[in-house]
Amino acid sequence: MMIVVMKAGATTKEISAVIAKIKKLGYEAHLSSGQERTIIGIVGDGSVRQYREQFELMDGVERTMPVSHPYKLASREFHPDNTLVALNDHQVGDTRIVVIAGPCSVESRAQILETAHAVKEAGATALRGGAFKPRTSPYAFQGLGEEGLKYLAEAREETGLPVVTEVMDPESVPLVCDYADVLQIGARNMQNYSLLHAVGKAQHTVLLKRGMSNTIEELLMSAEYILSHGNTRLMLCERGIRTFERYTRNTFDLNAIPVLKERTHLPVIADPSHATGYWQYVAPAARAAIAAGADGIIVEVHPRPEEAVSDGMQSLTPERFAKMVQELRRVAEAVDRTL
């Protein structure tokens, strides 16, 4: 890929001429209209570099630049400003932090409604809950499926909280889109390329979780699949990686937050619940995530964690969640953010 950086005052006509030339040469053009200037990405193989001078001679073009990393559309070079992802009255990636909270699994109508009201009361800005659960064992609870999606939609009606829920396979994408505001791609599916293509084509908002054994670059390459369909309604999520450490479920890769914020324009969300695995470490990890520059957090909350069918050990009670939100407000303020 190569990018064509247009001059600050480039006209629509000059921009259109560049796009037309790119198409005529047989490449794909991706437009990034920033606050200051327009950047046009030329996606194709390395052969595009032979036309560098031709593009530089065109009216309105300031310069061209080859993009050296394997991810292109996800890179800050292509899109210097933060991409803002609309979520209700939020623009994720802006200064205001989002707090997505709810149970690991939707267990019953009563459980999700009770949790939705409790997290809303405590300051959550979106509701999470899995209806399709990717479980290690085929004998463990697999989720309520469409019934669970219906309960989530009812919880949204009652509370106004947008819904984040996982989609596990390409075939279920249309169904989950009917009920969810945000499609979650779970860690185990980060490199399920047919699923990534499907959610890219769906043009629906996506929360892409980092795989437990995947590098930051691999996460960005998976984001690239979704972006390649022109779907920029995409948020990334650091949820902990596997290491030799046994006292926590995963190891929270705090480094990933500033690294991602530097390399990509996409919003970055932290999941301190899966990253630590124990409720008592969730608030400290969440505070660190906000301090490190995360645009939001996603946390598991259950009214009675001891009765949870999945991830009870890492679930906060509504009271503990409310206390954590108060703490996060102060951390947000310290780093010039709001919550």
Binding site for Mn ion (CB under 5 A): 104, 311
Site size toward ligand PEP, by CB under 6 A: 9
C-beta of 174: minimal distance to ligand PEP in Å? 21
Side chain identity at residue 120, one-letter code: K
Query: Helix (H) and strand (E) counts for the chain?
Result: 11, 14
What, of Mn ion, ligand PEP, none, does residue 209 touch, CB below 5 to 8 Å by kind?
Answer: ligand PEP
Q: Which residues pair with 29 in a beta bridge?
A: 42
Shortest Cβ 84–ligand PEP spacing (Å): 23
**CA quadruple 214, 292, 299, 267: dihedral positive or negative?**
negative
Q: Which does 186 bind (CB under 5 to 8 A by kind): Mn ion, ligand PEP, none?
A: ligand PEP
Say how far apart CA 271 and CA 82 lie, in whole Å.
20
Contact 80, 323 (CB under 8 A): no
User: Of these partners, ligand PEP, Mn ion, none, which one is at the site of residue 76 (CB under 5 to 8 Å by kind)?
Assistant: none
Residue 274 interacting with ligand PEP (CB under 6 A): yes
Classify residue 251 by its DSSP letter.
B
Nearer to ligand PEP, 301 or 332 (CB): 301
Query: Which residues between 89 and 108 bind ligand PEP (CB under 6 A)?
Result: 104
Q: Smallest distance from the beta carbon of 104 to Mn ion, in angstroms?
A: 3
State in Å, rounded, how far the first CA of the chain is from the last one: 38
Q: 21 or 209: whose CB is closer to ligand PEP?
A: 209
Pairing mode of beta strands 28-33, 38-43? antiparallel
Does 130 participate in binding ligand PEP (rule CB under 6 A)? yes
Task: Rule CB under 6 A: say whether 186 interacts with ligand PEP.
Answer: yes
How far is 128 from 296, CA to CA, in rounded Å? 13
Nearer to ligand PEP, 60 or 102 (CB): 102
Closest distance to Mn ion from the beta carbon of 59 (Å): 54
Phi, psi torsion values for 299, nearest 5 degrees: -135, 150
Distance of alpha carbon 249 from alpha carbon 247, whole angstroms: 7
Out of 187, 198, 297, 325, the only residue in the binding site for ligand PEP (CB under 6 A) is 187
| Side-chain-facing half-sphere of 129: CA atoms under 13 Å | 38
As measured in angstroms, the least distance from the Cβ of 213 to Mn ion is 18
* Residues at the contact surface with ligand PEP, assessed by CB under 6 A: 104, 130, 134, 186-188, 209, 239, 274
